[in-house]
Structure 1
Amino acid sequence: MSNTLTSSPPSATINTNEQAGAVVQKTVFSILLAISFSHLLNDTMQSLIPSTYPLLKRSLSLNFSQLGLITFCFQLTASLLQPFVGLYTDKRPQPYSLAAGMCFTLAGLLLLSRAGSFPLVLVAVSLVGVGSSIFHPEASRLAYLASGGKRGLAQSIFQLGGNAGASLGPLLAARIVSPYGQSNIIWFGVFALIAIGVLLNTGRWYRRNLTMRRKKAVSIIYESDPGLSKGRVATSLSILLVLIFSKYFYMASMSSYYMFFLIDKFHVSDQHAQILLFIFLFAVAAGTMIGGPIGDRFGRKYVIWFSILGVAPFTLLLPYASLFFTAVLSVFIGLILASAFSAILVYAQELVPGKVGLIAGLFFGLAFGMGGIGAAVLGRLADRTGIQHVFHLCSFLPLLGLLTGFLPDTTPKSKKA
């Protein structure tokens, strides 16, 4: 009698295991949409920081060097910490670290809304950066786990939220913060609270699937191993990092200085330039969904070819085009260039199976870093040579996409047989 009550039939155990496996063998869109929405909220709050620079400059009597130091502190904590966070969570996955990271962001926003001195502003933006460093590697791992094998699609959905948030932040700052003052930054804390609630829920799903994930870790790593030497993998990763450099340096020229280029060359109004910048950013958000699914279907190397090198004809034409065709070309540039990141990230994860967090942290960190460094370098160059000269030089950056030809095939060993 006691055996009947305390023991489960073998078939029940088998069915339970089968159900657990089925969860991660199919694409879990509810989880992907949840982390994409959280990414939107996270990047909305992040993009709030540079949007408040004019306000902080006036209220705290800051100079441009101090504003540059604010950017440096934010980018430093938001980029350099990510690979270390990813390396740690590869070994010790933390299901609730996403919600914990968002608490750092909340603390940073609350402090920023009340900061009455330059040092406090630096502490505030550093806290937001720490929150970003914790969020991106582990959220990328969660997308990987919920992908059901459609890793490119999963990363594209995740990235779509971030790109949408990056374009949304400045608009909300213009409506909520700029007209009413620094203290209204506190209202963005509501975004952090919503994100914490969403991420606690996804953390519970992540924790339920961790046990099964650990049991299958060895077989998954073997099956996805591309069978390359360590030297070939290191060379391939170096090429991918160069491609990230070319993409984000060019993106820095567009996101930071496109308006100034339009005003200088075509003498358009600020409002007209803002509309054209929004068109470009909207194209970037739309293009985010292209690279991942196409890479799943046809191969990521082809998407990288198309995304980096394929955009070169449009970037090379841009400095010589009329106003109308400049707007048209910017749409094609945004659509094509935005498709690169998801394909590059998943390709790199396939090169180094079992290190999803480390690779995500490295590439997200480099993307943040290149954006910050690119904006600073190109700004100084524009002061010396003129904004149009900067766009002429940057138009050649996508030609670095020729290096894609040296990337190996990453088809898993099990599929090559």
Structure 2
Amino acid sequence: MSSQAVLPAKAPKTSESTMFKILFIIGLCHLLNDAIQAVVPAMFPILESSMGLSFTQLGIIAFSLNMVSSVMQPVVGYITDKKPMPYALPIGLTFTLIGILGLGFASSYGLIVLSVLFIGLGSAIFHPEGSRVAYMAAGNRRGLAQSIYQVGGNTGQALAPVITALILVPLGQIGASWFTIVAALAVILLIYIANWYNHRLIASPKTRKKKSVSLATKVTISKEVKNTLGLILLLIFARTWYSSGITNFYTFYAIKEYALTIKQSQLFLFAFLVSGAVGTFFGGPLSDRFGKKTIISFSMLATIPFSIFIPHVPPTLAFIFLILAGFILMTSFSVTVVYAQELVPGKIGTMSGLTVGLAFGMGAIGSVGLGYIADWIGLPSMIRWLGVLPLLGLIAFLLPTDQKVREWNQQSK
């Protein structure tokens, strides 16, 4: 049954239809997974108050969470490109369940770090295979499919302020343990996804093996592809460092500069994250229509005016600018994943691990670095300098066009 081949370079006619049911379920699982991850930064104001942690210590917690995910995602992607592992999905969420349970009852700084390491490991296992499921179910609408998958994750992250305001503020640290219920639901859904995924593998193992062997040779097709991948990663780093700075530290800035309560400051962060999730959803379909390079360039450069002025305007205007910056910046989130996957065809998991995983990693390094800078020069100064990071988006003009990437793929066959 060649029509069921996994990860075809050029999908057969029967594979062109987009499997929305699978996409919505894996997107929902992504939402649940990342909502659990969002509990960690959402707890920062609680931990800072109850344990007296410094900005540097909070940055180390974020580093512990994200660096494990960063280091392991490309590794998991590389391994599963060679041997897909459908049931790694529910197993990964089980690690996350253990981590969030530990976080709710951790009595020391060390136990908190250990708990977030488990959450990071679960995320590392989930993301590459989740992205592969989205690719397999995409048909010929890869931008849309990746957007549905990624918007789930960004929506989960956007829940952090709500989690803080409704659960963590009234309940404190132990409120995190409630999310074991969320993790258990995700495990159940992922068992269903894993069964579907496994059925696809069983349906045409010979074709899958033939494809994986032939496509594996495309990993090093040319020096131009490597240079382009480097540019994409640099753009991702700039985007992630900015997002990390806003996500982890802007609430403290809003509390200090605008005299807001913790609950009120969470509304600013919520606006940024929700608008980013909406931008993630629209970015994929827009890239299917206008081209990936166009959307990537737009998302970085059009963010600059808002990111620069956010620290210099009154709170109402800052709120509006955060919404616009979040929406525009994140339109490229799913697009960069698909761009990298098409740049190096046949390595879906590896490219997802590099683009999404390294994004987490750079966010981790950025969290520690920005936390140190905030302790050194002051939080307001750090937030002001943060606004210039999107200027690195100028290098997007150096990216090859979508047509050029397709030509490279044809030449490498």
TM over 0.5, yes or no? Answer: yes
Counterpart amino acid of 2:142? R
Of 307, 327, 340, 1:335 maps to 327
Number of positions where the alignment pairs a residue of Structure 1 with one of Structure 2: 402
**What is residue 288 of structure 1 aligned with on the other side?**
280
Change beyond 3 A, Cα 1:357–1:187: same
Please show how residues 13-28 of structure 1 align to structure 2 within 5 Å.
18=3, 24-28=15-19
* Partner Cα separation in structure 2 for residue 329 and residue 56 of structure 1: 28
**What is residue 149 of structure 2 aligned with on the other side?**
158
Check conservation: 1:221, 1:353, Cα contact below 8 A.
Answer: no
**What is residue 8 of structure 2 aligned with on the other side?**
none
Check conservation: 1:43, 1:169, Cα contact below 8 A.
Answer: no
Counterpart amino acid of 2:190? L
**What is residue 381 of structure 2 aligned with on the other side?**
389
**Higher mean Cα deviation, 268-277 or 293-302?**
268-277
* Partner Cα separation in structure 2 for residue 415 and residue 231 of structure 1: 13
**What is residue 34 of structure 1 aligned with on the other side?**
25
Q: Does 1:193 align with 2:184?
A: yes
Of 133, 139, 150, 1:148 maps to 139
Unpaired stretches in structure 2, ≥5 consecutive residues: 6-11
**Higher mean Cα deviation, 173-182 or 231-240?**
173-182
**Higher mean Cα deviation, 253-262 or 341-350?**
253-262
**What is residue 88 of structure 2 aligned with on the other side?**
97
Check conservation: 2:162, 2:266, Cα contact below 8 A.
Answer: no
Of 313, 317, 322, 1:321 maps to 313
Change beyond 3 A, Cα 1:213–1:298: farther
* Partner Cα separation in structure 2 for residue 383 and residue 64 of structure 1: 7
CA shift for structure 1 position 305: 0.8
SS at match of 1:26: coil
* Partner Cα separation in structure 2 for residue 50 and residue 363 of structure 1: 21
RMSD: 3.1
Check conservation: 1:225, 1:352, Cα contact below 8 A.
Answer: no
Change beyond 3 A, Cα 1:233–1:217: farther
**What is residue 249 of structure 1 aligned with on the other side?**
241
Change beyond 3 A, Cα 1:310–1:173: closer
Please show how residues 3-402 of structure 1 align to structure 2 within 5 Å.
18=3, 24-53=15-44, 67-210=58-201, 211-212=203-204, 215=207, 229-268=221-260, 270-402=262-394
CA shift for structure 1 position 318: 3.0
**What is residue 8 of structure 1 aligned with on the other side?**
none
* Partner Cα separation in structure 1 for residue 173 and residue 269 of structure 2: 25
**Higher mean Cα deviation, 252-261 or 284-293?**
252-261
Q: State the identity %.
A: 40
SS at match of 2:63: helix
* Partner Cα separation in structure 1 for residue 273 and residue 301 of structure 2: 20
CA shift for structure 1 position 114: 3.7
Counterpart amino acid of 1:381? I
Change beyond 3 A, Cα 1:104–1:125: same
Counterpart amino acid of 1:395? G
Counterpart amino acid of 1:356? I
Deviations 1:161-214 (A, max 9, x none): 111111224423543444345444332111111111111111111112124376
Change beyond 3 A, Cα 1:53–1:23: farther
Counterpart amino acid of 2:295? V
Counterpart amino acid of 1:375? S
* Partner Cα separation in structure 1 for residue 59 and residue 258 of structure 2: 29
* Partner Cα separation in structure 1 for residue 205 and residue 134 of structure 2: 14
Deviations 1:227-270 (A, max 9, x none): 99521111111111110111011112222232344444444555
Deviations 1:266-302 (A, max 9, x none): 4455544332322222211211112111111221111
* Partner Cα separation in structure 1 for residue 307 and residue 44 of structure 2: 29
* Partner Cα separation in structure 1 for residue 399 and residue 218 of structure 2: 12
* Partner Cα separation in structure 2 for residue 270 and residue 54 of structure 1: 8
Change beyond 3 A, Cα 1:184–1:27: same
Larger Rg: 1
Unpaired stretches in structure 1, ≥5 consecutive residues: 1-15
* Partner Cα separation in structure 2 for residue 306 and residue 31 of structure 1: 30
**Higher mean Cα deviation, 317-326 or 122-131?**
317-326
Deviations 1:124-183 (A, max 9, x none): 221111100000011001101111121111111111111111122442354344434544
Counterpart amino acid of 2:283? G
* Partner Cα separation in structure 2 for residue 227 and residue 204 of structure 1: 29
* Partner Cα separation in structure 2 for residue 227 and residue 123 of structure 1: 35
CA shift for structure 1 position 70: 3.4
Check conservation: 2:55, 2:372, Cα contact below 8 A.
Answer: no
Change beyond 3 A, Cα 1:153–1:225: farther
Q: Could you state the TM-score of these two structures normalised by the residue count of structure 2?
A: 0.86
Counterpart amino acid of 1:292? G
Counterpart amino acid of 2:31? L
CA shift for structure 1 position 414: 10
**Higher mean Cα deviation, 124-133 or 207-216?**
207-216
Change beyond 3 A, Cα 1:43–1:337: same
